[in-house]
């Protein structure tokens, strides 16, 4: 069998193939969807506004009992395809706090800025590069009152230890990537990996965004899923294309319809200071196309910078070709929290069923918070007892919910609303025929299965 990490034939294709995937005319986003997702999130414990009992803390969010499961599933799905299923990528969990030297070398102290403009009329602050009309304040609608842009550094600075001042300054990382670069030599030495190989990491990043907003799309504290793929310089263009295609496919494989996704290559004047080429995976959010992930060819910028600044050797010596080189880096950098929001939006559907409207999250089973729910038809102990036992048994393998309150129809709707793929109903007949009914979320079809076949039946559908 061909392993997933072998260089595929698509590498031979020209980068222009990517442009074919740009077709912004596709579906029109539902403008009401945004509010529906925010309401559902609050109502069902997916995402709460942070510090709500204190009146909230602007643009920070807490992930509730359902949201924490879903966010974890997004990260697990990413880890599964980026680390678990590949022999050429290993994982890392680097620190969030880091000294100024790292950010000096990476260029973040001088370059990690956004252009800030103030409105002289209403005092609102905006990110100039995100304004629809460059001289119009979107808050008060007055034009010609915006100041000249100033570069605003997005990094959060704090002090380590009890002494303030020079030498005690530390930064909260604004991306996880630098942790991989400064550990390149450690990881390469301990794992004996040869380029092409990658280091992957998932974790919190912090940016003092000028205009956080759109729910969890842009927050000051968020989670990233990043991978730095170190390659021989001559192979960088092919690997760049490979990762663009592979990452786009990941979203499709996990349930986002192709007509709501595109790959947008950056214009030259958009490129970051380190980039030799960048493409964004964009999703059609209710406000229009916006970024989910950036895939960049970072050249040898990062390793060269850290090698110079730290006096470290960050090269690779190829024993076969007798060549010494600084690897180039291809970086797919995604946001876990932003991706979760896109999955929620793509999965949300309101469907007419007889006289009723059912809200259903048609989530991919790997992303769904609960995989299965056990619902005894009655609270009576002769049903609730064995049904609880079944739920306990299934919980050893999958996140399994248990619900015995209200009518069964209402309970199905509650599970539909949080995307549970399967509900197992334990009824009075179960006591006689030792079988249960399994109801599928999307089709609402029901099948009767012997109790001792339930695990296998679910495994076939949930574990592939």
CA distance 207 to 138: 22
Neighbours of 50 (CB within 10 A): 16
Please state the closest distance from residue 291 (CB atom) to ligand ATP, in A.
Answer: 5
Tell me 58's DSSP state: T
Q: Which of 293, 302, 401, 427 binds ligand ATP (CB under 6 A)?
A: 293
For 36, the 3-state DSSP assignment is helix
Residue 375 in contact with residue 404, Cβ under 8 Å? yes
215 contacts ligand ATP (rule: CB under 6 A)? no
- Report how far apart the first and last C-alpha atoms of the chain are (Å, whole number): 17
335 contacts ligand ATP (rule: CB under 6 A)? yes
| CB closer to ligand ATP out of 151 and 392 | 151
In sequence order, the β-bridge partners of residue 204 are 223
334 contacts ligand ATP (rule: CB under 6 A)? yes
Count of positions on this chain that bind ligand ATP (CB under 6 A): 16
71 contacts ligand ATP (rule: CB under 6 A)? no
Strands 400-402, 372-376: parallel, antiparallel or unpaired by DSSP? parallel
Phi, psi (deg, nearest 5) at residue 219? -125, 170
CA distance 56 to 90: 39
Q: Which of 108, 193, 218, 366 binds ligand ATP (CB under 6 A)?
A: 218
**Stretch near ligand ATP under the rule CB under 6 A, chosen from 289-297, 301-309, 385-393, 423-431:** 289-297
62 contacts ligand ATP (rule: CB under 6 A)? no
Please state the closest distance from residue 452 (CB atom) to ligand ATP, in A.
Answer: 44
* Both tokens assigned to 374: 């056990």
175 contacts ligand ATP (rule: CB under 6 A)? yes
CA distance 332 to 251: 13
430 contacts ligand ATP (rule: CB under 6 A)? no
* Residue recorded with tokens 């680097």: 94
228 contacts ligand ATP (rule: CB under 6 A)? no
298 contacts ligand ATP (rule: CB under 6 A)? no
Please state the closest distance from residue 274 (CB atom) to ligand ATP, in A.
Answer: 11
Q: By the criterion CB under 6 A, which residues form the site for ligand ATP?
A: 175, 207, 209, 218-219, 222, 224, 291-294, 333-335, 337-338
């Amino acid at each position: 069998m061909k392993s997933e990490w072998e260089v595929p034939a698509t590498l031979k294709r020209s980068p222009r193939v990517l442009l074919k995937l740009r077709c912004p005319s596709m579906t029109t986003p539902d403008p009401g969807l945004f509010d529906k997702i925010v309401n559902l999130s609050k109502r069902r414990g997916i995402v709460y506004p942070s510090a709500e009992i204190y009146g909230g803390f602007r643009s920070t969010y807490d992930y509730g009992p359902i949201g924490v499961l879903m966010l974890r599933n997004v990260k697990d799905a990413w880890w599964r395809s980026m680390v678990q299923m590949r022999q050429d990528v290993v994982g890392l969990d680097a620190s969030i706090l880091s000294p100024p030297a790292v950010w000096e070398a990476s260029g973040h102290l001088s370059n990690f800025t956004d252009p800030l403009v103030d409105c002289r009329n209403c005092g609102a602050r905006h990110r100039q590069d995100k304004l629809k009309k460059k001289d119009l304040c979107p808050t008060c609608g007055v034009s010609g009152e915006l100041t000249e842009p100033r570069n605003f550094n997005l990094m959060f600075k704090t002090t380590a230890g009890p002494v303030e001042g020079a030498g005690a300054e530390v930064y909260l990382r604004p991306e996880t990537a630098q942790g991989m670069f400064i550990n390149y030599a450690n990881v390469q030495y301990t794992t004996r990996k040869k380029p092409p190989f990658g280091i992957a990491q998932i974790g919190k990043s912090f940016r003092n965004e000028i205009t956080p907003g759109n729910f969890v799309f842009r927050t000051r504290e968020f989670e990233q899923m990043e991978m730095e793929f170190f390659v021989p310089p001559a192979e960088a263009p092919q690997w760049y294309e490979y990762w663009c295609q592979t990452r786009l496919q990941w979203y499709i494989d996990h349930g986002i319809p192709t007509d709501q996704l595109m790959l947008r290559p950056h214009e030259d004047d958009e490129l970051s200071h380190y980039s030799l080429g960048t493409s964004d995976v964009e999703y059609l959010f209710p406000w229009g196309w916006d970024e989910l992930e950036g895939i960049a060819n970072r050249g040898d910028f990062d390793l060269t910078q850290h090698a110079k600044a730290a006096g470290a050797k960050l090269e690779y010596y190829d024993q076969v070709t007798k060549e010494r080189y600084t690897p180039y880096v291809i970086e797919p950098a995604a946001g876990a929290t932003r991706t979760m929001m896109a999955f929620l939006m793509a999965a949300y559907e309101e469907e007419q069923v007889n006289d009723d409207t059912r809200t259903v999250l048609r989530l991919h089973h790997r992303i769904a918070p609960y995989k299965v729910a056990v619902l005894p038809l009655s609270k009576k102990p002769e049903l609730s007892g064995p049904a609880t036992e079944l739920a306990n048994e299934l919980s050893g393998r999958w996140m399994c919910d248990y619900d015995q309150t209200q009518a069964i129809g209402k309970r199905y709707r509650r599970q539909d609303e949080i995307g549970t793929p399967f509900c197992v109903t334990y009824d009075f007949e179960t006591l006689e025929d030792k079988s249960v009914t399994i109801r599928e979320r999307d089709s609402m079809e029901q099948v009767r299965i012997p109790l001792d076949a339930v695990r296998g039946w679910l495994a076939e559908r949930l574990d592939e």
